[in-house]
Amino acid sequence: MRKFLLSATLVATSFTMFAQKLDDVQEKISKGKYAEAKESLDKFMNDPKNKDNANAYYYQGVIYNELAKDSTKTPATDYRQEAFTAFKRYQELDPKNVLMTLEQNGRLFQLYEGYYNAAIKSYNAQQYDKAFYNFKNALNVEQYINSKGFTYGNQALPKLDTNLILNTAAMALKSNQQDSAMSYYQRLADAKIGGDKFEEVYQMLVDYYAKKNDEANRQKYTAIGTELYPNSEYWLQSQLTPFKDDKPKLFAKYDELVQANPTKYFLAYNYAVELFNYLYASDAKPTDAATWNPKLEAAITKAISIDPTPEANLLMVRYLSEQVYKNQDAVKASKGTSAAEISKRKSLNAQTIQLYDKMAPYAQAAYDGYSKKDTLKGSEKGNLRYVTNVLIDYYTAKKQMDKVKTYEDKLKTL
């Protein structure tokens, strides 16, 4: 931070030029006796005749500004806030702003600096609520200075201080004041501030208003975020949020977005995962399974066509495995010895072999994809074990025992 230092000669001149029944206060200020100056000024201002004395408010601001600099005291009163209030009142009562113009309104800049430095100190001490309070007030003083067009020397404060606003919002979040944090992020978003470090601002606002069921603001910040960050996957995903509890509407929205964004792997893959989980993740099957089951294989195929990741191939293996289990259960349920039952079992067994033949290339692709990775996460190891067992079963059925041994050896290493 640059220091805002006032000229001692200039301040002294202002005291002698504008002494109006405040000589005692001025004298104590000039000697640095601020506590005594405050007592004298309080007596002066307690007289109703002096309630609109402009100079009294100026000196009140001077006194409180100096008292705020005393780091040895921790008063209940926020002296900086009292000084700020007094200076604003002075400028209301004296539109020419004579006394403060003589010092280039430097004490306002000192208040800004004092709040900012206090915020940094509080942050370093992990006192986030105090850091938020001080950043917030630094921003308030800065905005007031800018609203008046004040500068100090050649120095002007930013018209939109993005870093200070980000710091203020961050401290609000850390002190569990989410509503306040979002109000600061809105200042940035409404100004359409772009750049890498601001993308999360728009995402947080969209999430915040989605949880608030405020569709107008959710759409507003989704639109701005999409405009500023058109390549971000988040904005497409956020369009699905309103439908997360209504599966038919969610799937319809996925259909719409996948068609509109035919190269977005994450969208196609997530759609397939949503369908799979809806149809097979629980014992209770949905009543409309017949509607959505035909769409699942096409959704997985679409994801693989965009990017044949091991995860997408594994998903196809899991889907086809469900069809195998269904056939196997049907075979077990067929107990009769009639020609029709025997024919049915024969047909189901043939279908199962066809499903295994169809599944094998996807299992191999998933196996190869995971095997090529230098390191595997725990879940990835589990996935690799799964497709390895599928390949063992497949080649066992095919009586290709050399292949079986290859995958059995692999399984031992996992």
Distance CA 8, CA 144 (A): 25
Contact residues for 401 (Cβ-Cβ < 8 A; gap 6+): 395
Domains contained in the chain, number: 2
100 is written with which tokens?
């403060």
Lowest mean pLDDT among 7-11, 44-48, 50-54, 243-247: 7-11
Distance CA 261, CA 235 (A): 12
pTM listed for this prediction? 0.74
Instruction: Write out the H or E segment, with its range, that includes residue 296.
Output: helix 289-306
289 is written with which tokens?
């399974």
Among 103, 136, 159, give the residue marking a domain's end: 103
Distance CA 338, CA 195 (A): 73
Among 83, 103, 123, give the residue marking a domain's end: 103
Q: Is the pLDDT of residue 17 over 80?
A: no
β-bridge mates for residue 321, sequence order? none
- Would residue 238 count as lying in a domain? no
- Would residue 140 count as lying in a domain? no
pLDDT of res. 362: 97
**In contact, 301 and 275? CB cutoff 8 Å:** no
Among 86, 103, 120, give the residue marking a domain's end: 103
Q: What pLDDT digit, counting tens, does each position of 115-144 carry?
A: 999 999 999 999 999 999 999 999 999 999
Distance CA 384, CA 392 (A): 12
Q: Is the pLDDT of residue 12 over 70?
A: no
- Would residue 331 count as lying in a domain? yes
- Would residue 60 count as lying in a domain? yes
Q: What pLDDT digit, counting tens, does each position of 157-181 carry?
A: 999 999 999 999 999 999 999 999 9
Q: The CATH number of the domain where 90 resides is what?
A: 1.25.40
- Would residue 11 count as lying in a domain? yes
- Would residue 369 count as lying in a domain? yes
- Would residue 303 count as lying in a domain? yes
Range of the structural domain that residue 47 is part of:
1-103
**Residue 4 pLDDT grade (very low, low, confident, very high; cuts 50, 70, 90):** low
**CA 282 from centroid of its chain's CA atoms:** 32
- Would residue 28 count as lying in a domain? yes
Tell me the C-alpha to C-alpha distance, in Å, between residue 160 and each of 115, 146, 272: 17, 9, 44
Distance CA 321, CA 329 (A): 12
For the chain, state the CA radius of gyration: 36
Q: What is the mean pLDDT of residues 391-404?
A: 93
Helices 106-124, 162-174: inter-axial angle, 10-degree rounding: 40
Residue 223's identity, in one-letter code, is A
Residue 100's identity, in one-letter code, is M
